[in-house]
Amino acid sequence: MNKSDEIKVLDHGFVKLTDHLGDDERIVQTARISYGKNNEECNHSASLINHLIKNHHTSPLEQVVFTFYIKAPIFVARQWLRHRTSRQNERSSRYSESMPEFYIPKDLEGRVSGVYQEEYDHRDVMGLQNESAYRTYLQLIDEGMSKELARTVLPVSTYTEFYWQMDLNNLFHFLNLRLSSHAQIEIREYASAVYELIKPLVPIACEAFEDHILHSVTISQFELTQLQEVLKGVDLPTQLKHLLPKGGE
């Protein structure tokens, strides 16, 4: 691995790909073994991988594994580690002193309402609070308090670091959730970095993921019935207009 396997994220964070096992061909080989095929017979890789992902035959994807080293604010890490199909190990602030690195958003446009309308006011308040918390943290340690107790005064904007390992099938699930426009902006930026790092290693699988999962739409039986009615010339109910292409009626 080299420097190109690390992407800077937010103000002090990064995502680094430290190791990986397998590629598109590993997925194909694993799928073909079901039929007793050997490596020389593994043709039409793109078609097979598309078929696997489209039809949710996911076990071959689990043969591809990635390990990342991540530095992120604690509140991002807590969202991240909700994905329990991963394996991770985090830097312990019980035994090591936390560094004075805190996340402060650069752009607060559209994310602030209330008394303080100026963006710099919010950033200043956040910065001062972080500095005050860290001074208290150091003071408690100097006065003999253990690190594991002193850390309780630190905000969730404090940066933490962890190793994170996940197979490709579950990684696609993570990316589908965390690349969504409904995900918090900060973890979305980390998910984008993760995806940028894996795409050159499994390009066929990533293309199929985008086609069949990331940019696809799932509809209910009721919605399908309504769309069938539209094809017959019946107007689509207002609450289902989102199923039409942009600008479509």
Instruction: Indicate which residue of 26, 32, 151, 178 is catalytic.
Output: 178
- CA distances (Å), 72 to each of 34, 79, 161, 162, in order? 41, 11, 6, 9
The answer to whether 177 touches 183, Cβ cutoff 8 Å, is yes
**Catalytic residue check, 188:** no
Residue 67 sits at φ, ψ, to 5 deg, of: -120, 130
The answer to whether 151 touches 98, Cβ cutoff 8 Å, is yes
Task: Give the Cα separation of 164 and 90 in Å (integer).
Answer: 9
Other CB atoms closer than 10 Å to residue 15's CB: what's the count? 24
> Known catalytic residues?
178
